[in-house]
Amino acid sequence: MEESCHYYLPKKRRYCRLQQMKGQEYCVQHIETSTNSSTPQCDDANQRIRCPLDPSHTCDKRRLQKHLKNCNVTKLIPTDPWYVAEMNAGEIEGNLDTVKMLREVTPQEMKDLIGKIRDISGLLPPLGKSDESHPSLNGEISEFENCESATKKLVQNSSLLAILASNGILQSPGNYIEFGAGRGQFTTSIIKALPEEKVSDCSFVLVDRGTNRRKLDAKYRQIGHSQITRLRTDIKDLCLRKLEVLENRAPVVGVSKHLCGCATDLTLRCVTNAMPDINFAGSVIALCCHHRCNWSDYVGKDLVAKFELSPRDFSIICLMSSWAVCCFRDTENDVDEENKGPLHFISDVEKEEVGRLCKRIVDCGRVEYLTKLGFGANLIEYTAKSITLENTALVFTRKASN
C-alpha cells in the first residue's frame, strides 16, 4: 500500500492524505515544499514548480511549456474580441506603504487618522435619500412577506428600479449590463419592470467572473428571451467598445446590486474607457464591501490627495469601513475596562459612525472621478438600514453635451 504525503496541513491539523510521488515523501501538490527535506531531490529538470497561470497547483518544470498550453486556466481565458486583458485595471505602484490588517496600526496613528476623518466629513457633499419603490415588484413582495431574506432582496431591487426610473434610464429599447451579476436577480427584476411588449427591444448582458448555480436568467432564455447574454470574465478585462450586442446603438444602462470593493472601480473604468464609442445613458450601482478596495485600482485618488491622505491612510480607511456593518452593541459607553485592547479609546457606537464616514470618503472619491469626466454623479441612501446596512447607491448619468 502506498504511503500518504508527509506534508502537514496546519489549518486541518492533520497530514495530507494524497499519495506520495514515486521515490518522494510528498504528493504532487506538495513536492515543492520538500526542498529542506532529507529526501533525495529530483534534478532541476524534474523539479515541480508552481504553475505560472494558476499558483494553486504545480507542474513539472521539464514540461512547463506543454503544461501552459494545456492548463485548464488557459481554456477559461475568452478568445472573444471584447476580452482585453487588464484593460480596466489600475496602475500598479511599487513599494507602497499600505496596511493589510488593523493590528499593524498603532493606537496613536489610528487615533490621529480618526480625528482627520471626522474633520474631512464636514467637507463632503450631503448624502441623498430615496424612499421610492417600483410597483412592478409589489406582488412578489407581498407573496414573500413571510420570508424575511427574500423580502429584503425584493425591497432593495424595487428601490433601485425606482431610482432608474426617476433618472429616465429605465427605458426600451435599451442595452442593460449587470456587473457582478451573480444569479442575475436584478436583471430579472428589470425585465419585470419593463412593459412586456417592449422587452424584446432590449438586450441584457450579465457579467460575472464566477459560476453560479440556479441562475434566474436561465428561465427566461428557456422561454425564448434570446437577447440575454452571460459573459464569464473579470470586469477588468471587459472592453465594452468591442461588445457586439451594443452595436445597435441603443442606450446603454449599467446596473449592479452590491458590487464588492474594487469591482466598483473596475466598473467605472470599464464605462469611462468605452466613452464616447457607446451610447451610455446612465448607471445605478449599489455599493458594498469597501474593505476590499485597493489603492492600485481605486479611481478616486485625486480626492485622497486633496485631503492630504497617503496610500497607507487609504488602506486603513478601507479596513475601518468594515466597522459600519459589524453590528456592534447599541450602548454609548461599552469599553471593557478589564480587557482594554489597542482600540480602547473608541466605543463600539463610535466605531460604527467612523466606519460609515470611511465609506463616504471612499465613495466621494468615485463621485469626484466621474464629475471630472463630465458625468452627473451622486450618492443616494436607497433603502433603510433595517433592510441592508450596505444601503448606499452610486448614481451617474451620461456626459453633459457641450
Tens-digit pLDDT profile for residues 184-220: 999 999 999 999 889 889 999 999 998 888 888 888 7
Residue 41's pLDDT is what? 44
At 253-285, the pLDDT tens digits run: 999 999 999 999 999 999 999 999 999 999 999
What letters, b where the CB count within 10 A reaches 16 and e where it falls short, cover 325-361? beebeeeeeeeeeeeeeebeebbbebbbbbbbbbbbb
Residues of the chain with CATH 3.40.50.150: 102-332+339-397
Confidence (pTM): 0.83
**Chain-centroid distance, C-alpha 24:** 42
pLDDT band at 350 (very low <50, low <70, confident <90, very high): very high
Would you say residue 331 has pLDDT above 70?
no
Residue 66, helix vs strand vs coil: helix
CATH T-level topology, domain 102-332+339-397:
Rossmann fold (3.40.50)
Q: Which residue has the cell 499593524?
A: 104
Asked if residue 265 lies in contact with residue 298, where contact means CB atoms within 8 angstroms, the answer is: yes
Residue 1's pLDDT is what? 60
